[in-house]
């Protein structure tokens, strides 16, 4: 078992030239012996965004704090704290912080895609 405060996990910058002001914390992953899924905590600063991309695996997302948009299904959708989002495999997607505070969300992906 692992029990810790999420914010005690080191926040690492997302090193992608298509991302702006994004950090990720690997809350549960392969280093913890998780055989199936990774639980990650993303934080996007005001005015920041993740890269627009797609891949062969799904995402389950829960917005903890802030507001913004998610590009999915070929259009932008507003999101805010308390929203949950399912992004199917191969659906192009991007998260953008349009608010005045950090946008924080949990993202769960299959463990085999560990750092994507």
pLDDT 10s digit of each residue in the chain, 116 long?
999 999 999 999 999 999 999 999 999 999 999 999 999 999 999 999 999 999 999 999 999 999 999 999 999 999 999 999 999 999 999 999 999 999 999 999 998 754 44
Instruction: Report yes or no on 21 lying in a domain.
Output: yes
Q: Is residue 46 part of a domain?
A: yes
CATH code of the domain containing 28: 2.60.120.10
Total domain count, the chain: 1
DSSP E strands in the chain: the ranges are 12-13, 20-28, 37-49, 59-65, 67-72, 75-80, 84-87, 94-97, 103-110
Q: Does 2 reside within a domain?
A: no
Q: What pLDDT does 116 receive? A: 43
Could you tell me whether strands 20-28 and 12-13 are parallel, antiparallel, or unpaired per DSSP bridges?
antiparallel
In a domain, 65, yes or no: yes
pTM metric for this prediction: 0.93
């Amino acid at each position: 078992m692992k029990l810790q405060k999420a914010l005690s996990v080191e926040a690492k910058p997302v090193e992608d030239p298509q991302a702006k002001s994004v950090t990720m914390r690997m809350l549960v992953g392969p280093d913890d012996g998780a055989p199936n899924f990774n639980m990650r905590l993303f934080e996007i600063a005001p005015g920041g965004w993740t890269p627009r991309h797609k891949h062969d695996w799904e995402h389950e997302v829960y917005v903890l704090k802030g507001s913004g948009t998610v590009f999915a299904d070929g259009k932008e959708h507003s999101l805010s704290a308390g929203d949950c989002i399912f992004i199917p495999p191969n659906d192009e997607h991007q998260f953008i912080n349009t608010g005045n505070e950090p946008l924080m969300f949990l993202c769960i992906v299959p463990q085999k895609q560990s750092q994507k």
